[in-house]
Amino acid sequence: MSMPGDPPSNAETAYQRAQIVKRTHAESLLKMANVVGLGVGLRQRDGKLTDEVALIVLVRQKHPIHHLHPEEQIPASIEGVPVDVQEIGEPHAGAGDKT
């Protein structure tokens, strides 16, 4: 655990960098037809969390890259921050919402 005044750890630095990239690119990413949300967290590989901090791009449905036009493709990294595309289906209000 870091103490006030300590330099940030590599994980803290990676998280802060990913947050900046998320804010910088949110508008353009969220304009993409299949993208429904963004976050920052640990990358998943084969359904398991890794220790790599990534920009998480939530999509309705994942498609093979060769089926996508270039403007529909989400890059593997943005400004050196890895991107993890995660399929979540169609978002809807939670059970506790009364909408």
How much is the pLDDT for 99? 46
- Please give the Cα distance from 17 to 21 (Å, whole number): 6
- Please give the Cα distance from 86 to 60 (Å, whole number): 9
**Domain ranges within the chain, ordered by starting residue:** 10-87
- Please give the Cα distance from 98 to 91 (Å, whole number): 15
| pTM of structure | 0.81
Per-residue pLDDT for the chain (99 aa), expressed as one digit of tens each? 455 565 567 878 999 999 999 999 999 999 998 999 999 999 999 989 999 999 999 999 999 888 898 888 999 999 999 999 999 988 776 655 554
Q: What is the CATH number of domain 10-87?
A: 3.30.300
